[in-house]
Amino acid sequence: MTTSQTTVSRSLIPGLRALEDSLAPLAEPLIRVAAGLFLMPHGAQKLFGWFGGYGIDETGTFFITVYSLPAYLAVIAGVIEFFGGLLLALGLATRLSAALITGMMAVVVIHVHWSQGFFWTENGVEFPLMWTIIAFAYLLRGGGRYSLDHAIGAEL
């Protein structure tokens, strides 16, 4: 096998090479699970008022008054963040949930944060753009070997 056919990497800690090699396949699913789980509380804030959120009615009012968006988009955003995040974390209907998350986050980037610049500390695009890119990667890639999609042999 030539170098172009295989990935050759140096060990972070040479004595732990075997451990690094055994854990390396978990890197991508770790990102998928973390991304999904990190999105869920944002949806729970919008839908249920958990974690200091305001629930559907107040979030809908916020969408209208601050962003000039229809109130029903608060429900759609909450459902995509909460249930889409759960599906992404589980790797179930991964591409479908990633497509919904990508689309929603692209709208958030353009409609809400674009005018604020790049940095998240100034309410810019940095954080939502990162979520967009992560979700888009799973839209392209799917859930992978360590997903429920793979376990059931079907990928949406």
Give the pLDDT confidence of 77-104 residue by residue, as tens digits.
999 999 999 999 999 999 999 999 999 9
**pLDDT score, position 1:** 44
**Domain ranges, ordered by start, for the chain:** 28-143
**pLDDT score, position 6:** 53
Q: How far apart are the first and last CA of the chain?
A: 34
| 36 and 87 Cβ atoms separated by less than 8 Å | yes
Tens-level pLDDT at each residue, the chain (156 residues): 444 455 557 777 888 888 888 888 999 999 999 999 999 999 999 999 999 999 999 999 999 999 889 999 999 999 999 999 999 999 999 999 999 999 999 999 999 999 999 999 999 999 999 999 999 999 999 999 999 999 999 887
**pLDDT score, position 15:** 85
Q: What is the rounded distance in angstroms from the CA atom of residue 127 to the CA atom of residue 121?
A: 9
Q: What is the rounded distance in angstroms from the CA atom of residue 85 to the CA atom of residue 38?
A: 8
Length of the chain equals 156
Q: What is the rounded distance in angstroms from the CA atom of residue 5 to the CA atom of residue 134?
A: 26
| 83 and 75 Cβ atoms separated by less than 8 Å | no
**pLDDT score, position 16:** 86
Question: Containing H/E element for 99?
Answer: helix 94-107
Q: How many CB atoms lie within 10 A of CB 35?
A: 20
**pLDDT score, position 3:** 47
